[in-house]
Amino acid sequence: MAGNPISRTLLKGGLLLTHGEDNHVHPVVSDLLIEDSIITQISPQIELNSTEPTTRTIDCTGKIISPGFISTHHHLYQTQFKGKHANHTLLKYFPGGHYASSLFTLSDLFWGELGGALEALDAGTTTVVDHSNVNHTPDYPRTAIQALLTSGLRTVYCYTFPRRVSSWAPFAAADDMSSPWVLDTFASLAESAPFDGRVHLGFGTDNVFLPAEVMKPMFARIRAAPARLITLHGAAGPAHSMGPGKPAPSIAQMLELHGLLGPDILVSHANYPRAEGAVPGMEADAKLFGRPHEVAPKISSTPNTELQMGWPPVALMPEYRAVSSLGVDCHSWGSGYMPLQMNLLLQHARNERAVGLAREDKWSRNVGYDVEDVFNLGTIDGARAIGLEGEVGQIKVGLKADLVVFDTDTPTMLAAAVEDPVAAVVLHSSPRDISFVIADGVVRKEGGKLVDVEVAPAVGSGEAESVVAAGTKLSWGDIGREILRSRESLKKKLEGIDMVAAEDAVMAQIHMNKVALID
């Protein structure tokens, strides 16, 4: 079955994690009615007229129903690289993971993208900002979008300038910002977006250290397309400094310098925020992100990768909390489960607070941050960060039916779900506790297993150019076999490449501070 064809679905008797006007979570036992893709009724007892259209009823008695999780920074295509980066820093990841995307064929991209999207849905994530790095020809973004449409995931697909490796020995790579087809293809795709109402189009770029005469017309064209949002990596720290005590200007500061900072800007990571003076006369990051929400840029913190890279996440810092959200970043580094990101951020922030107090020979009876803080970052605040607060992020009549149904009688959830359902989700749950996932009103996971998918028609090109013919039914087993075949092919292409030499070349290319490197 390729998704649920029934136009109405009634969830009976579940514990809904709703948000009030105060943005606090208010658990309530209630029925919930979905018509097509919309939540149309929430009531203690919904009775349907037997003469009305066929309705599927799902008994949710004793279960927790959460808003679908929102990952605001994710590289979905990287499925074939899972397990490679367990002990990698950013430097080691660059040649063996990030730049290895230059080796992807259309087939590699389709299966990697589809696998990443389905992993997200399996784990209850129903909306993803997909920062894509695999746009070698016009057919690559079309293939990625086709995979996303096939999966059923709600996405902001962020198209990027092609990032190509022209030589592995010696290593040389560059972004293609001059070929006319690049922005022409983006503009053409934007005319048809959102695809199927679910796949929006955004833009991803890290090319901000360019002259104003290059940046301004480029951003003007991207925004005119239009792009729903523009996302950029904001890596920082000693590796990206210009010397001791000389931090490089931040992404936000550079955009502000060119008059390009705005509410459609989403900065991933934003670690090691800059003070005034990194750019002469420029405001500190705290002031730039501290503007009123309707004009402020936004932040996506990705705790799993950031902590591994030595980048303290900023999402719970008071100066950045109002504009922050959470993302997975690379599911090739670790779990794509959003409650794990919540958990990591929460305990990191609690520890940082306690360590800071200890430095002053103080301590506290309180932890400082509670589970609701991080639950909201992965739901309602994620929607606000990407401009979809009127569609998703909470359980509310009139919004899209993006929902996660948790069993509460499993060994991990038992007792915790009764004591505190939000804590149960954030601190105790795992993907195996999720019995149903509904995205855009369609059941995508049922009985703890992903539902089969049907390949969507190709976007902006003929079906002959599709990796898999439209209409083909695929089970997870089918998809998994193709992902493993693709992994073997990519592994062979990478054999024999001197990764240490490539790392040295990357350091020079992106101006990392080699003087401060200790090993």
Q: Would 132 be classed as within a structural domain?
A: yes
User: What local confidence, expressed as pLDDT, does residue 240 receive?
Assistant: 81
CATH number assigned to the domain comprising residue 399? 2.30.40.10
Q: How far is it, in rounded angstroms, from Cα 58 to Cα 13? A: 9
Round to whole Å and give the CA distance between 392 and 399: 6
Say yes or no: 399 and 380 in one domain: no
At 46 the pLDDT is: 94
CA of residue 250 relative to chain centroid, distance: 21
Q: Does 6 score more than 70 pLDDT?
A: no
Question: Structure pTM?
Answer: 0.96
| 12 plus 133 within the same structural domain | no
Flag whether pLDDT at 20 surpasses 60.
Answer: yes
Q: Rounded distance, CA 405 to CA 69, Å?
A: 12
Q: Residues 297-353: pLDDT tens digits?
A: 999 999 999 999 999 999 999 999 999 999 999 999 999 999 999 999 999 999 999
Position 91 in a domain: yes
Same domain, 92 and 195: yes
| Number of domains within the chain | 2
Over residues 431-443, the mean pLDDT reads: 98
**Listed residue (184, 116, 196) closest to 479, CA to CA:** 116
Is residue 232 domain-shared with residue 362, that is, in the same domain? yes
C-alpha gyration radius of the chain: 23
Quick one: 325 and 404 in the same domain? no
Within 10 Å of residue 89's Cβ, how many Cβ atoms? 13
Is the pLDDT score of 4 beyond 60?
no
pLDDT computed for residue 1 by the predictor: 41
The Cβ of residue 112 has, within 10 Å, a number of other Cβ atoms equal to 29
218-256 as b/e, with b when 16 or more CB fall inside 10 Å?
Answer: bbeebeebebbbbbbbbbbbbbbbeeeeebbbbbbbbbb
Ordered alpha helix ranges (H), 209-337: 212-224, 251-257, 285-289, 303-309
Residue 2 in any domain: the answer is: no
- Range scoring the smallest mean pLDDT among 62-71, 89-98, 456-465, 509-518: 456-465
Residue 5 has pLDDT above 80, yes or no: no
Confidence of residue 462 (pLDDT cuts 50, 70, 90): low
Specify whether 261 is located in the same domain as 138.
Answer: yes
For helices 139-151 and 180-192, the axis angle rounded to 10 degrees is 30
Q: How far apart are CA 329 and CA 184, in angstroms?
A: 28
Q: Is residue 205 part of a domain?
A: yes
- d(CA 246, CA 257) in angstroms, rounded, equals 18
pLDDT tops 60 at residue 365: yes
Cα distance between residue 164 and residue 124, in whole Å: 33
Q: How confident is the model at residue 516 (pLDDT cuts 50, 70, 90)?
A: confident
pLDDT by residue (tens digit) across 389-405?
999 999 999 999 999 99
Please, what sign has the CA dihedral across residues 380, 383, 384, 388? negative
Cα separation, 9 vs 35, whole angstroms? 7
Q: How confident is the model at residue 519 (pLDDT cuts 50, 70, 90)?
A: confident
- Chain centre distance of CA 321: 18
Indicate if 88 and 130 belong to the same structural domain: yes
The answer as to whether 331 is a domain residue is yes
Identity of the residue numbered 9:
T
Average pLDDT score, the chain:
94
pLDDT level of residue 238 (50, 70, 90 thresholds): confident
Amino acid at 299: I
Give the model's pLDDT for residue 461. 62
Helix, coil or strand: residue 64? strand
Q: Any idea which of 183-187, 272-276, 290-294, 466-470 has the lowest mean pLDDT?
A: 272-276
* Mean pLDDT score, 180-203: 96
The whole-number pLDDT of residue 184 equals 96
Considering the domain architecture, whether residues 178 and 226 belong to the same structural domain is answered as: yes
Per-residue pLDDT band at 177 (split at 50, 70, 90): very high
The answer as to whether 423 is a domain residue is: yes
- pLDDT of 477 above 60: yes
Amino acid at 308: Q
Pair 285, 260 in one domain: yes
Residues in the chain: 519
Residue 488 placed within a domain? no
Same domain, 96 and 210: yes
Answer yes or no: is 139 within a domain. yes
Q: At what angle do helices 106-122 and 139-151 cross, to 10 degrees?
A: 30
Structural domain of 112? 69-390+495-516
For residues 281 and 308, state if they share a domain: yes
Q: Are residues 447 and 506 in the same domain?
A: no
CA distance 192 to 188: 7
Asked if residues 421 and 17 have their Cβ atoms less than 8 Å apart, the reply is yes
E-strand stretches of 161-259: 163-168, 171-175, 199-204, 230-233
Identify the CATH number of the domain in which residue 160 sits.
Answer: 3.20.20.140
What is the per-residue pLDDT for 466? Answer: 86
